[in-house]
Structure 1
Amino acid sequence: MSPLLKSVRSGRSIALTKKLASSGEGTVWTTNLPGFLAKLYHTPTEDRIQKLRIMVDHPPQNPMRHHHHITFAWPQDLIQDETGQCLGFLMPEIVDGVKLSIVYNPKLRGRKAPRFNWYYLHTAALNFALALKSLHEESYVVGDIKPQNLLVNNRALISVIDTDSFQVIDPNTQAIYRCLVGSEGFTPAELLGKDLATLDQTEVHDRFRLGVMIYLLLFGDQPFKGKWVGRGESPQPTDLIRDGFWPYASNSMVQPGPNTIPLSIIHPQLQVCFQRCFTEGHRNPHARPSAQNWSDALKLAIADLRMCHLENNHFYSRTYGRCYWCDRLSSVSFDIFSPIPAAHRVAPRKTVSPKRFTRTATAPRGMQTGLSVMTATSTLQGFKRSATMLNPSGVSHKTTGRWSSNPVVWGMGFIAVGLMGLTLLLLPDLNIESIQKGGELFEAAIDQWFQPSNVKDKTAVILNSVEETKPASVMHGGHWEAITALDISLDDRLLVSGSKDMTVKVWNFPSGQLQQTFAEQYEPIISVAVSDDKETLTTSILSGKVFIWNIATASLMRSFTPTAIWEGPEDSIRASAIDRQGELIASSGWGGSILLQHLQSGKMIKIPSHSLATGQALAVLPKGQAIVSSNSNGKFQIWDANTGSLVKTFPNSVKDSLEPISTMTLNRAGTVLVSGSWYGSLVLWDLKTGKRIKTLPTQRNPISAIAISDLGDRLAVVTNKDTRIQLWDVKTGRAGGILKGHTASVSALKFSHSGNFLISGGEESAIKIWDLTRRRLIRSLVQ
């Protein structure tokens, strides 16, 4: 016979109808109250009951309420017996969810949720981040985050269960009711080996767990896993977390394995978040992205997703440029996102790079309080089904592209259709190799026919050493890690380079001889600047610390550690810019705040973040009177360097299509700003009026580095992960040549002040010097 129970607040009688689960802590039952479950403790201690009272009185906001979805299985009322003793609580029943492991585990997903694609996984990650944000706003700490405590439905909406295990703070007495347990793989390094029952946790610890969960959703595996390259047997995951070893940390003993999905396939903002969480966060937990940071980055990433033109269940990041899942089939036979069994599917070509007519998944609206992926078909077994194919968030996947009205083009199109029809007639007599080759030729023809009409760079000059019989010279003594910063003295006599190897080197530019190495900075170099008189060198490192060196004596003159003002989650920097006089340095934090440091007076000004800007770019105007910054909505701000006040925001015209800015630079006079976006836009702006001067045609790949000559007549541009450097004539808007010679992606560019030379560096650690007048590579500075 069921005991006589009733709810404390409402006084309703409660009958237990069926036991659903049992554990060492208690039991969970269905009840006579529709939509409610009961959890009864084996030992209902006073602390447990008081914790429940606080939770009942102070529920968090439900970020999915506008979708009529229950995000938290939150205590709604206490349950007591006939003697008045509290035994447990009532909570809402989650009826339309399955365990998260079913959708992030590729094999389980393939069997039970084959249509739950990368778009859905991004959306589920966003909704979990929003749920955690809501909890943190009410000072709750989840503590025991693990997949077993998360449910997801066929709209990618998340539900959090086991909420009574959270850490709770009494808002009146500030008493803390701790989370007593943690889960392996989700406990941050600073808590490993400690008794959680005796520790007060913070949302900073939840940030690590959130990063691990998002990584699981996007990559299908734990982040602290890979190929062990150290001595002995591979350590356990807990030991890897303790040491901060994950595949994308510098000097990590764990490297990506043959089946590791690369970090580069996700949106750059997400890459930054993962680096902050697992690399910077290992050294400084406050550097980990907050739930708000993750939410904002995931919104950008979702808006950037595109549907593959070969497999409509494949989505890829536009900034990556092609369908990784199709590429992966060349080395792994299992397609983790195709709902079609492998035995019945023809593997696509190795590289799928749709440059035109790609079907676009536009960013859904209303994502401020959660994103629902509306489905006409169930993605999970057991859900209601229909015959309609999944269509995330009601988004219409449409073909985009500009068709020419030129009759020649139309004629070529009709010819192509005729050829395709003939091919179909002859198909039984063609082998697979011929079909694939024909497809490649046809795709190339399509690309040629529909090139933008203003691109006239069909005879681009390749500037490399093959045009001269004399080979480029090689000078040793260089860096052994990626080049991060370059500068050159006003008289073109000294070249300065900074690297991830934590050193700065000064070179004799005409001869290529190494003159000085500054090796006392102990962190990756962010920026370098040599003064106009060649007497001082200013450098900044990842934590924000600034060094001023005497070049002649190679001695440190001063250093600044801005810990008093640059604190919390932003005490490491994303980018910095230094004025030519070495008097002002502007740095952007990972969360978007800007720090201005006046190096002569020691004055520091912090400009708070007003929008997510983890990819923020900065530039200092001549004489250091003002700086220019970008934010994630694609606009620019000019700030007064002396007061930190906002002077101007641009562009303001509705005609200007705004895209998140990845990099920017100023001409020497400070009158023209050149910006490059994550989507490949290359735009020149009049800094005085804030109006667009010119847009240069590109291939729509993310721009990673820009340099402009002192006269402002020539640009050098590199796109994401490209080994080639594109030159542009600013006046004509025409491409001026391509520099080939790097073997890895280029990330740093600098023109000599004469305009006759270009210096470049990147991931391969070599610095290359190009003679633009003779059109050849003349020198490589290597280790």
Structure 2
Amino acid sequence: MALTVVSGSGHTWQLTERIGSGSEGVVYAVDDARPLVAKLVPDPLDPAAYRRRIARLVRQRREPRAVRLLSGTPTRVAWPLAGVRAGGPGGGGVDGYVMTDMRHAHQPFTHLLTPQSRQALLPHATWATALAAALSLAQLLADLHAEGYVVGDLKPDNLWVDAHGRVGIADVDSWQFTDGNEVFPGRMGSPGHTAPERIGAPAGTAPDRASDEFVLAVLVHELLMCGLHPFAGHPASGDYLSYDDNVLHGRCRLLDRAAVVLPRSAPPLDLLPRRLATLFRAAFGGVRPAASTWVEALAAEADPARLRTCRRNPLHVHTAERPWCPWCDLAERGADGYPAPDPRPRSSGGATPGAKDTKDVTGMKGNTAWQR
């Protein structure tokens, strides 16, 4: 049975199929001429505070700082358009909001992180596309920080990407921001995409720009290293517990090659341009570069003069610093990061050669966009 939601002004929308769900909310498609979805949050910790948060975000959409973020095409931010309640405006309902449907112009960000999904869903994507996505993400975060917003729960599941590498973001209701003298704190965090100072911190510990900048570096690494998390790998001594455990103990191949053991299918370190490798080491072991610093460095590396295309496979694009194609090397090990499009019809259960090794390294769980 279709759900009906109503805004404070009395406008109603019909919700159709359920798209996804997460720890806090459920996302539904909206029956509307515009590309819209609705997120409902059945059990917020403080319902009144949540309604106030959404109302302030809806109002800020008309303010210059949000207008700047929402300018351009395609839309970069799934901003709340109206607060809604399922069950009517008076008591007993479920609160939420209506926002732009990012599926209209984007795909889930996770589609760019694994060879299997790229081959099937982004067949023309190359390492240059990954660079473009990294640059777009860094620019988006730099713009958000410049306007006073902190994402807090920056992770692949909240991100979107198109075939050109342009990145968008959803779940604005979890951000940290101010409105007048009131602070609306962020509190969410996700395993594998949380800065070390927030791992295991007391509930409600607020994020800041530095915590966003740590996770930005993680995401840029995942984009450029074929989905490989920078803290992936089995500890050289002891048992593997989680990415977060490796983060807390500084087990990162970029910081110490002997700290972790990775399979031969892992992309080599020299796939990264030296300038970016230096930024990663700073982000994970020193002073974290600001998002704007990443923008400058990624823009320089995305210059066509800094890129080379393999003669054997046009999808094998790599930095000009690399004297030969790293993707061909990986293909010989059965783990081609950018395989040519498969001309065969897709089957429901077939596996891509090398898929097992890649999944073991990256730890990706597949498409969970619109979930939180």
Structure 1-normalised TM-score? 0.39
**Alpha carbons of structure 1 residues 77 and 17: separation in structure 2 relative to 1, 3 Å:** closer
| Cross-structure match for 1:253 | 259
Distance 1:23 1:316, change over 3 A: closer
Whole-angstrom distance in 1 between the partners of 2:220 and 2:57: 26
CA distance 1:242–1:313, shift in 2 (3 Å): same
Which residue does 1:195 correspond to in 2? Answer: 202
Q: In 2, distance between residues paired with 1:42 and 1:64?
A: 28
Q: How many Å separate the matches in 2 of 1:341 and 1:77? A: 43
Question: Counterparts in 2 of 1:547-562, with a 5 A limit?
Answer: none
- Report the Cα distance in structure 1 between the residues aligned to 2:240 and 2:90, rounded to whole angstroms: 57
Contact 1:246 1:255 in 2 (8 A): no
By percentage of residues, which structure has more strand? 1
In 2, the alpha carbon distance for the partners of 1:5 and 1:245 equals 48
Counterpart residue type for residue 200 of structure 2? G
Q: What value does the CA root-mean-square deviation take over the aligned residues?
A: 2.7
Q: What residue is the counterpart of 2:110 in the other structure?
A: 101
Bigger-Rg structure (1/2): 1
Confirm or deny that 1:155 pairs with 2:161.
no
| CA distance 1:177–1:92, shift in 2 (3 Å) | same
* Aligned equivalents of 1:255, 1:279: Cα separation in 2: 19
- Match among 235, 246, 261 for residue 240 of structure 1: 246
Aligned partner of residue 15 in structure 2, secondary structure? strand
SS of corresponding position for 1:148 = helix
Query: What code does the residue aligned with 1:334 have?
Result: A
The answer as to whether partners of 2:42 and 2:94 remain within 8 angstroms in 1 is no
8 Å CA contact 1:79, 1:89 repeated in 2: yes
Instruction: After superposition, give the CA deviation of every residue in 1:233-269 in whole Å (9 maximum; x if it has no partner).
Output: 3343221100111012147522554232122222222
Secondary structure of 1:79's counterpart equals strand
Decide whether the 8 Å contact of 2:6 with 2:84 is kept in 1.
yes
Determine the structure 2 residue equivalent to 1:475.
none
The structural deviation recorded for 1:64 is: 7.7
- Counterpart residue type for residue 228 of structure 1: P
Partner SS for 2:270: helix
Give the superposition deviation at 1:292. Answer: 0.7
The Cα shift of 1:72 comes to 0.8
Q: 1:275, 1:265 → 2: CA distance?
A: 15
Q: Give the counterpart of 2:187 among 151, 171, 180.
A: 180
State whether residues 266 and 301 of structure 1, in contact with CA within 8 Å, keep that contact through their aligned partners in structure 2: no
Question: Of 59, 75, 91, which aligns to 1:57?
Answer: 59
Deviations 1:107-142 (A, max 9, x none): 332333332111111111111111111211122111
The DSSP-based 3-state class of the residue aligned with 1:208 is helix
2:26 pairs with 1:27 = yes
Aligned partner of 2:230 in structure 1 is 223
The structural deviation recorded for 1:214 is: 0.8
What is the aligned partner in structure 2 of residue 270 from structure 1? 276
Aligned to 2:140: 131
Q: Corresponding residue for 1:38?
A: 38
- The one-letter amino acid paired with 2:240 is S
The AA in structure 1 aligned to 2:80 is P
The separation in 1 between residues aligned to 2:37 and 2:56, in whole angstroms, is: 19
Deviation per residue, 1:132-162 (Å, 9 max, x gap): 1121112211111221111212222212112
Which residue is 1:205 aligned to? Answer: 211
8 A Cα contact 1:62 1:72, kept in partner: no
* Distance in 1 separating the partners of 2:136 and 2:231: 23
* Secondary structure class of the residue paired with 1:186: coil
Q: Structure 1: 5+ residue runs without aligned partners?
A: 281-286, 344-783
- Are 1:18 and 2:25 matched, yes or no? no
Instruction: Say if 1:14 and 1:31, in contact at 8 Å, map to a contact too.
Output: no
The alpha carbon displacement at 1:275 in A equals 0.8
Change (3 A) 1:266 1:86: same
Q: Which residue of 2 aligns with 1:91?
A: 99
CA distance in 2 between partners of 1:194 and 1:88 (Å): 28
Q: 1:78 aligns with which of 75, 78, 83?
A: 83
* Deviation sequence 1:18-64 (CA, Å, 0-9, x none): 03245563433313352222223324611111211222233435568
Quote the residue 1:146 is aligned against.
155
Q: Is the 8 A contact 1:49 1:86 kept in 2?
A: no
What TM-score, normalized to structure 2? 0.80
Contact kept, 8 Å, 1:224 with 1:246, in 2: the verdict is: yes
1:179 Cα deviation from its structure 2 partner = 2.5
CA distance in 2, matches of 1:234, 1:279: 20
Structure in which a larger fraction of residues adopt helix: 2
